[in-house]
Amino acid sequence: TGQRWDSLRKSKKYQNLVRWYNSIALEYASVLNELTETYVGKRGLGKPKSAKPKEKEENTTNAENSDREKSMCPFDVELPGAEVGKVVLRFAPEPSGYLHIGHSKAALLNQYFAQKYQGRLILRFDDTNPAKESNEFVENILADVETLGIKYEKVTYTSDYFPNLMEMAEKMIISGKAYVDDTPREQMQKERMDGIESKCRNNSIETNLALWKEMIAGTERGLQCCLRGKLDMQALNKSLRDPVYYRSNPIAHHRIGKMYKVYPTYDFACPFVDVHEGVTHALRSSEYHDRNEQYYRILEDMGVRKVQIYEFSRLNLVYTLLSKRKLLWFVEHGKVDGWDDPRFPTVQGMVRRGLTVEALLQFILSQ
Catalytic residues: 94, 314, 324
Can you say whether residue 364 is alpha, beta or left, with left for phi > 0 and alpha for psi between -120 and 50 degrees?
A: alpha
- Alpha carbon distance 367, 362 (integer Å): 9
Q: Are 79 and 284 in contact (CB under 8 A)?
A: no
| Cα Rg, the chain, nearest whole Å | 26
The three-point CA angle 198-200-203 to 5° equals 140
Q: In what order do the strands lie in the sheet with 154-157?
A: 88-91, 120-125, 154-157
- Alpha carbon distance 98, 338 (integer Å): 10
- Alpha carbon distance 240, 238 (integer Å): 5
Strands 178-181 and 226-229: antiparallel
Distance between first and last Cα of the chain: 24
Strands 308-312 and 281-285: parallel
The three-point CA angle 324-270-102 to 5° equals 30
- Alpha carbon distance 53, 19 (integer Å): 35
| Phi, psi for 235 (deg, rounded to 5) | -65, 140
Q: Are 221 and 210 in contact (CB under 8 A)?
A: no
